[in-house]
């Protein structure tokens, strides 16, 4: 029954009830308990969780304990899912059992009391919020996403041309390009790298993501007593959250006070949506706070992710220049000199295989965002009690040797016809009720930015082989490549 007949989320609750029902008649063979490393009383598996490359460490533990295991931290039990099959079972098939988010002390601070979409728990207010932002994003993307990305890709091209072949670190330029896509969609505004407004916003969003991912902060969630001790890292987090809110408030106020507001901007749709909503018996479900926090979601979710991915792509291409040549040749043959459209993607399999392989090897949100079981349920036949924290280890799923032979090697060709690479097992955007809200924005961005860049530039290492980027990466909430320098050499054909 467990494996065969569970057709969806509504039957998932029934399944766990059934499991519990049967178990009560089987006193000597109690429910299989989840495997996992032994944990120290009180501290639990804290050491496991403070590893400096957590996704790799959790993936290594899967070799010992299997595709699902548990870790304990303080009084929290976490279940780590390490294969695409078990992740899909939880996030897609049983989405309504696992759509919650853990409610945490620090998460509440970062999300303005749980009012962001990404960290808000699953309830009526959250559903209305996500629906509102989703439809605003859809409306805006249908109207202008393609042209917004094209414009930023051309701006990025100009920036790279102006470097005139000198060795540079492109990470900031990628961040500006990705961020401008979001700020144009959100407010109809874009910035230059030198803009102090942009620099302020990024430095504070970056700081928040980095500080929140640090063990100094996560320890406060598991060990409440630590909150009584002085913690300079936590003080910095509070300061950055206040700074972020001030910048976003200023932006929204400026937007509202414009004489001619941009009708296509997401902010406009959000504000109109709030005005039009039907009031519940407790008044309006969504308020200006939700517009504010949705802006935070879009800026954080949409900037560092796409920028980190572009940085990884260039880094991998420096290690395998022949892949770059193959993509370039495909672009020249198929496009005959013109710039690509997103609709060209079906005719550009080599480029798409590169995009898939970088998403596989370096899913930029390697552990997604933790989920919470909102009722008793089960995964892979194991009983999962309500409130268990679920960690979808996307990095682990993408490195499963049963699905991807030689999983740690960069081989885009595995995604070409006959290469055997499964696109079904790729889940870089998560799935189900919590599927990345910006998936369609991200997919178009990755495609167009990469196609524009590889059509016009050849990326070569800064000096010798010794300066090839380190591909291990730095894992926090976002998995980033260590900074490196590269030369973007203009292609002679497209730039006579």
Binding site for ligand HEM (CB under 6 A): 91, 117-118, 130, 182, 297-298, 301-302, 305-306, 309, 363-365, 368-369, 392, 428-430, 434, 436-438, 441-442
Nearer to ligand HEM, 301 or 473 (CB): 301
CB atoms inside a 10 Å sphere around CB 255: 20
Q: Please, what is the minimum distance in Å from the beta carbon of residue 33 to ligand HEM?
A: 25
Q: Compare residues 312 and 404 and give the one whose CB is closer to ligand HEM.
A: 312
Integer Cα distance of 29 and 32 in angstroms: 8
Phi, psi of 81 (to 5 degrees): -105, 125
Nearer Cβ to ligand HEM (351/441): 441
How far apart are CB 36 and ligand HEM at their closest, in Å?
21
Tokens of 419: 């290469």
Instruction: Write down the least CB distance from residue 360 to ligand HEM, Å.
Output: 11
Which run of H or of E encompasses 384?
strand 382-384
Which residue of this chain has its Cβ atom nearest to ligand HEM in the complex?
438
CA end-to-end span of the chain? 66
| Nearest approach, Cβ of residue 437 and ligand HEM (Å) | 4
**C-beta of 330: minimal distance to ligand HEM in Å?**
22
Q: Which is nearer to ligand HEM, 118 or 152 (CB)?
A: 118
483 neighbors 444 (Cβ within 8 angstroms): no
Q: What are phi and psi of 76, to 5 degrees?
A: -105, 130
For residue 223, CA distances in Å to 119, 220, 233, 371, 372 come to: 20, 5, 16, 20, 19
283: its two tokens: 């008044």
Return the structure tokens found at 386.
């309500």
> Smallest distance from the beta carbon of 14 to ligand HEM, in angstroms?
24
Beta bridge partners of 377: 384
Please report, to the nearest 10 degrees, the dihedral formed by the alpha carbons of residues 485, 489, 490, 493 taken in order: -150
Smallest separation (angstroms) from ligand HEM to the CB of 433 = 7
Whole-angstrom Cα distance, residue 192 to residue 437? 26
The distance of closest approach from Cβ of residue 122 to ligand HEM in the complex, given in angstroms and rounded to an integer, is 9
Q: Which is nearer to ligand HEM, 137 or 487 (CB)?
A: 137
Reference 112, options 277, 249, 305; nearest CA is 249
What is the Cα–Cα distance from 285 to 130, expressed in whole angstroms? 12
Nearer to ligand HEM, 396 or 461 (CB): 396
The residue (of 368 and 488) whose beta carbon lies closer to ligand HEM is 368
DSSP 434: G
Measured from the CB atom, is 174 or 234 closer to ligand HEM? Answer: 174
Beta bridge partners, 283, equal: 280
């Amino acid at each position: 029954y467990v494996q065969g007949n569970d057709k969806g989320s509504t039957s998932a609750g029934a399944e766990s009830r059934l499991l519990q029902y049967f178990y009560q008649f089987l006193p000597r063979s109690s429910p299989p308990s989840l495997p996992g490393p032994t944990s120290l009383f009180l501290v639990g598996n804290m050491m496991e969780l403070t590893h400096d490359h957590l996704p790799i460490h959790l993936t290594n533990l899967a070799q010992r304990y299997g595709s699902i295991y548990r870790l304990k931290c303080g009084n929290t039990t976490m279940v780590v899912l390490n294969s695409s099959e078990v992740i899909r079972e939880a996030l897609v098939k049983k989405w309504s059992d696992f759509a919650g988010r853990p409610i945490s002390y620090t998460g509440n601070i970062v999300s303005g009391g749980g009012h962001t979409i990404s960290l808000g728990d699953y309830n009526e207010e959250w559903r209305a919020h996500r629906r509102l932002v989703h439809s605003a994003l859809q409306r805006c993307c249908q109207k202008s996403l393609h042209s917004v990305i094209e414009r930023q890709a051309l701006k990025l091209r100009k920036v790279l041309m102006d470097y005139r072949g000198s060795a540079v670190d492109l990470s900031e330029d990628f961040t500006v390009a990705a961020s401008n896509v979001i700020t144009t969609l959100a407010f109809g505004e874009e910035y230059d790298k030198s803009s102090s407004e942009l620099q302020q916003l990024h430095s504070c969003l970056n700081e928040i993501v980095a500080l929140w991912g640090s063990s100094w902060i996560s320890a406060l969630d598991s060990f409440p007593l630590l909150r009584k001790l002085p913690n300079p890292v936590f003080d910095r987090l509070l300061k950055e959250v206040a700074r972020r809110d001030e910048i976003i408030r200023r932006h929204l106020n400026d937007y509202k006070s414009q004489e001619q507001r941009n009708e296509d901007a997401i902010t406009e749709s959000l504000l109109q949506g709030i005005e039009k909503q039907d009031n519940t018996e407790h008044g309006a479900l969504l308020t200006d706070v939700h517009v504010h926090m949705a802006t935070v979601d879009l800026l954080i979710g949409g900037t560092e992710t796409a920028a980190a991915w572009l940085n990884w792509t260039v880094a991998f291409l420096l290690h395998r220049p022949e892949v770059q040549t193959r993509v370039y040749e495909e672009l020249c043959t198929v496009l005959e000199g013109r710039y690509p459209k997103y609709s060209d993607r079906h005719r550009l399999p080599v480029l798409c295989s590169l995009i898939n392989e970088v998403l596989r090897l370096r899913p930029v949100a390697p552990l997604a965002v933790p989920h919470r079981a909102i009722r008793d349920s089960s995964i892979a036949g194991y009983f999962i009690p309500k409130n268990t924290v679920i960690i979808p280890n996307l990095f682990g799923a993408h490195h499963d040797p049963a699905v991807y032979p030689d999983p740690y090697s960069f081989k885009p060709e595995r995604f070409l016809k006959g290469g055997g690479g499964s696109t079904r097992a790729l889940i870089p955007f998560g799935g189900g009720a919590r599927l990345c809200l910006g998936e369609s924005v991200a997919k178009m961005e990755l495609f167009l930015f990469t196609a524009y860049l590889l059509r016009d530039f050849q990326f070569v290492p800064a000096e010798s082989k010794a300066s090839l980027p380190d591909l291990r990466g730095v894992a926090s909430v976002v998995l980033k490549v260590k900074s490196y320098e590269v030369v973007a050499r203009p292609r002679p054909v497209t730039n006579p």
